[in-house]
Amino acid sequence: MNQWLIGVAVAFVVLAATTAVLTRDPARQAVVLSVLGLSLAVVFAVLQAPDVALSQLAVGTALTPLLILLTVRKVTRRPTRSDDRASDGDRAGTGDDGREQK
Amino acid sequence: MTARARLAVFLAAAAVIAAFFTAACTDLPPFGTDSHPYGERAVAAALDRRTANVVSAVNFDIRAFDTLGEESILFGTVLGATLLLRRARDERHRRAEADRVMPTTRLFGALLLPVTLVVGVYIVAHGQLSPGGGFQGGVVLATALHLAYVAADYRALKKLRPLAVLDVADSLAAASYSLIGLAGMIAGGAFLKNVLPLGTFNTVTSGGTVPVLNAAVGVEVACGLIALLAHFLDQAVELTDPDQQRYGDT
Amino acid sequence: MGTWVFLAAGWVLLIALYGLVTSRNLIHAIGCLAVAQSSTYLLLLAVGYRRDATAPIYSDLTPGTRPVVDPVVQALALTDVVVGATVTALLLALTIQLRKRHHTVDPQALTGLKG
């Protein structure tokens, strides 16, 4: 029974990791990374490592995706030189969007 | 190098890595093996020092010197990120505006914030007994504070977060780890030696220096991560660049 | 079960390296690096696993009654989870600086050192 549990959890981690790498948009990738963090926490729990699972749960599902989203927000707020995203940048630059990516 | 050439080089390297990794894996002890010589010795040593959570005993007693290295990396990265994300001369500071929040969200945050803070302190304090410790509890404490941002707005978070105090606390906690190590050297003859009384097995005061080091690391991780997130949030929410003044914010 | 849990960790590492090599966005590359880091935790904990054993925590377990999994590898993974996150933060801070000074986050558009 336990072996099957480990197998399913590890398979899910492999799936989530592959999806996270193949998701090229950083904002979407942050969400997939959060799923990966959660599935890693499950794997650690079934591998009898509650300490690591706790740590991974807090860091992997909350902290790392939050940092990536904040960076994305900082980096894409300005229009790029090629101006192809100028309208996007204008909208994001007008201020009251404090919680769109939280 | 073109993207195609880079990919070709990578695929060749990956094939070699995969081949050797697979070969190495077949020679490893099988998954779920019964032979864990280091693990058994660590368990015996931890029980000898009356620490119920063997993982904490390994981290803060048996391999405490290694953890000193880890927490120095943590301190160094927080310092580096603070330096990189400081306000540049050409950046404008824009005050975060007050935001309207749904009353249910506000209630949720107001209820959850104290509970999460208590959970964080509990996890740090009981690291020698149950799963947890300074690293996990510190992360919980740091993320708990940001519930204020979810429940209210950035101004509320800034009021809850005296950055100068946190920076000093971070440095003091990082220094105290080394000082505890030096105290062990003076009292017991070896750096980070567990010299405090070991206490009764399975009580909060057991484990000698383990709970003390746990607390130091907990304070350091919590303060360091709050400071780190503060600089990222400042960059994302409050600071605007000269280019942006030109294009967007008018 | 055999060795396929180890091989799964190897796969996660290689796919993350593939993402790093082909990435056109530094933030995406840092995300891939985080995936590569997680493969090491998977490998470490898989090495330390023992069949039908419980967690190495004796607060509600009489010592000697049940086998426990290897606590040493857990301690290694535990500290690295938190420290790895702060290293990710440092890299993201570098990316923000890079964007400020060079106006790009595409590693392939960074041609050379500018004063």
pLDDT the model gives residue B8: 95
pLDDT at B13 > cutoff 60? yes
Number of domains in chain B: 1
For chain A, the average pLDDT equals 80
C105 close to A75: Cβ distance less than 8 angstroms? yes
How close A101 gets to chain C, by Cα (Å)?
16
Count of CB atoms within 10 A of residue A95's CB?
Answer: 12
pLDDT for res C76 = 92
- Using an 8 Å Cβ cutoff, are C71 and B58 in contact? yes
CA distance A11 to chain C (A): 8
Residue C52: which region, alpha, beta or left (left: phi > 0; alpha: psi -120 to 50)?
A: left
pLDDT at B87 over 90: no
CATH code, C18: 1.10.287.3510
**Does ipTM surpass 0.95 in this model?**
no
For chain C, positions 40-99, list CB contacts with chain B under 8 A.
46-51, 55-59, 63, 67-75, 78-83, 85-87, 89-90, 92-94, 96-97
Q: Is residue B65 in a domain?
A: yes
Closest residue by Cα to residue C58 from B250, B240, B139, B56: B56
Confidence band of B243 (pLDDT split at 50, 70, 90): low
pLDDT (tens digit, 9 = 90+) per residue, B107-150? 988 899 999 999 999 999 999 899 988 999 999 999 999 988 88
Predicted local confidence at residue B195, as pLDDT: 85
User: For C35-73, what is each residue's pLDDT tens digit?
Assistant: 999 999 999 999 999 988 999 999 888 888 889 999 999
Q: What is the mean pLDDT of residues A15-20?
A: 96
* Residue C45: domain span: 4-56+66-109
Average model confidence (pLDDT) for chain B? 88
pLDDT on residue B199? 85
Note whether residue B9 is domain-resident: no
The CA distance from C62 to B217, in Å, is 29
Looking at the domain assignment, is residue B174 inside a domain?
Answer: yes
DSSP state of A86: H
Burial bucket for residue A41 (CB in 10 Å: 0-12, 13-18, 19+): buried
Q: Does a structural domain hold residue C95?
A: yes
Q: Domain range spanning residue B156?
A: 36-247
**Is residue A33 a contact partner of residue A60, using CB atoms and an 8 Å limit?**
yes
Residue A1's identity, in one-letter code, is M
H or E element at residue C39? helix C26-48
Average pLDDT over residues B28-39: 89
Collapse the DSSP code of A68 into the 3-class scheme (helix H, G, I; strand E, B; otherwise coil) and give the result: helix
Determine the residue among C65, C73, C78, C95 to mutate to test chain B binding: the one whose Cβ has the most chain B Cβ atoms within 10 Å: C78
Q: Which of A67, A90, A98 sits opposite B99 (nearest CB)?
A: A98
pLDDT for the residue numbered B208: 87
Query: How much is the average pLDDT of A83-96?
Result: 40
Rounded to an integer, what is the distance from CA A2 to the centroid of its chain?
28
User: pLDDT-derived band of residue B200, with 50, 70 and 90 as boundaries?
Assistant: confident
| Confidence grade of residue A99 (pLDDT, cut at 50, 70, 90) | very low
Q: Record the pTM.
A: 0.87
Comparison of pLDDT for C44 and B152, the residue scoring more = C44
Residue B47 structure tokens: 């029980």
State how many domains chain C has.
1
CB within 8 Å: C57 and B17: no
DSSP character string of chain B: --HHHHHHHHHHHHHHHHHHHHHHHHHSPPTB-S--HHHHHHHHHHHHTT-SBHHHHIIIIITHHHHHHHHHHHHHHHHHHHHHTSPPTTPEE-PPPP----HHHHHHHHHHHHHHHHHHHHHHHTTTTSS--HHHHHHHHHHHHTHHHHHS-HHHHHHT--HHHHHHHHHHHHHHHHHHHHHHHHHHSSTT---S---STTSTTTTTTHHHHHHHHHHHHHHHHHHHHHHHHIIIIIEE-HHHHHHT--
Binned at pLDDT 50, 70 and 90, residue B250 comes out as very low
| Whole-number pLDDT of residue B241 | 66
pLDDT of residue B59: 92
**Domain spans of chain A?**
2-76
Structural domain includes residue B171: yes
Does residue C31 sit within a domain?
yes
What number is the average pLDDT over the span C63-90? 91
Determine, yes or no, domain membership for B54.
yes
Averaged pLDDT, B54-62:
92
Q: Which residues pair with B93 in a beta bridge?
A: B239
User: Of the ranges A1-5, A79-83, A95-99, C35-39, which is most confident?
Assistant: C35-39
Exposed, middle or buried, B48 (CB in 10 Å: 0-12/13-18/19+)?
Answer: exposed
What's the confidence (pLDDT) of residue B230?
92
Mutate to test the interface with B, among A3, A70, A71, A83 (most CBs of B within 10 A): A70
Q: How much is the pLDDT for B237?
A: 83
Which residues in chain C have their CB less than 8 angstroms from residue A40's CB?
38, 41-42
Residues of chain C numbered 1-60 and touching chain A (CB < 8 Å): 1, 5, 8, 11-12, 15-16, 18-19, 23-25, 27-28, 30-32, 34-35, 38-39, 41-42, 45-46, 48-49, 51-57
| Interval B222-234: pLDDT, tens | 999 999 999 999 8
pLDDT(A34) > 60: yes
